[in-house]
Structure 1
Amino acid sequence: MSEEFEPLTSTLKPKTDATITVRLIKSFEYRTEKNMVLKDLDLTTTTVGDLLELAKKNIQTQSAYRPFRNVEFDTLKLYTQAHGSKTSNLIINLDHDEWILSDPSKTLEECGFVNETEVSMFNRELFEKYKENPVEKW
C-alpha cells in the first residue's frame, strides 16, 4: 500500500525562480514589521548583499514601505523555511545567531534558501539591544 503525497511548495519552483518573504522590522519592542514579497529571484546567483540592496531600493521607491524609510537596515537573518517550524517570538527568532547572514558575497542558495523562505531584515544595533532585554511594549 503506497501513499502518494503532494510535493512541498518549496520544491515546486526551481531555485532560479523563487519567491521569498523579507520581514522588515522597524521596532522589536512594538512588533512593528511589514512583509515584502520578492518574486522571480535566482537563489543561485543572488547574493546576501544583492538581497539587502534590492529590499532597500524597494523601501525607497514603493509607497507601501514609506514608514520604514527612517530605519537603517543593515542585517538579514533567516526566520523560517517553507514548512519549517517557527519561533514563538512573533517578531524575530532570538536564538540561532548562526542564521545571521553576515557574508554579503554568499549566494542565497549557499545560505540555505529555498522557495518560500522567510528572512528578517533589521538594524543590528537595535536587535542587540532587544536581545539584552526582550520586553514587548504596547
Structure 2
Amino acid sequence: MSGGAVVTVRLVRSFEHRNFKPLVYRDVSLEQSVAEFVAHVKNDVSCRSGVPPPFRRHDYDSMKIVHQAHGAKTSELVMSLDEDEKLILRSDCSLRAAGVQNETELAFFKMTDYQRYKLNPQASW
C-alpha cells in the first residue's frame, strides 16, 4: 500500500473490560476501500508478532472513527457510543470518503459485541 497516511487501529476485544490493543499502520492509501483495509488489517493481525493470541483470533468485522488529528477526544476509554451513522465506516466507501485522514484513530471491533454493550454500557473490572 502507498499513499502516506498514518492510521492507528485499536483492536477492541471487549468493551465491558476495556480490553483493546492499538496498532499503527503507515503508508495507508486512503483511496482503497474500507473492505480492502479491513481485509489487510485482519490478515496482518493474524500473523503479526507482538499481538497476543486472544486479539489474533477475535472476529473483528467493523471499524469506527475514534479520533482525528486536531479534533476533540471522547471521554470513553475505548470509543464513543455516539454518531454511529457518521463514524462507522461503510465497507463500500474509500477510506477518504468515509472520513479517514492522516493520523486518524480507528476502532476495529465485532458489531454484535458493540450493539450489546451499547444497550448496557457498564464497565466490568
TM range (shorter): over 0.9
Identity %: 39
In 2: Cα distance, 1:100 partner to 1:87 partner: 15
Gap runs ≥5 in structure 2: none
> Is 2:103 aligned against 1:106?
no
* CA offsets 1:78-126 (integer angstroms, 9 cap, x no match): 1111111111110111001111112x12111111111100111000000
Query: 2:50 maps to which residue?
Result: 64
Q: How does the TM-score come out when normalised to structure 2?
A: 0.92
Check whether the contact 2:4–2:29 (CA below 8 A) recurs between aligned residues. yes
Check whether the contact 2:46–2:57 (CA below 8 A) recurs between aligned residues. no
Alignment of 1:60-99 (within 5 A): 60-65=46-51, 66-98=53-85, 99=87
Query: 1:4 maps to which residue?
Result: none
Q: Which has the larger radius of gyration?
A: 1
Query: 2:10 maps to which residue?
Result: 23
In 2: Cα distance, 1:26 partner to 1:19 partner: 22
> Is 2:50 aligned against 1:50?
no
Once superposed, which parts of structure 1, at least 4 consecutive aligned residues long, lie more than 3 Å away?
Answer: none
Q: How does the TM-score come out when normalised to structure 1?
A: 0.84
CA-atom RMSD, angstroms?
1.3
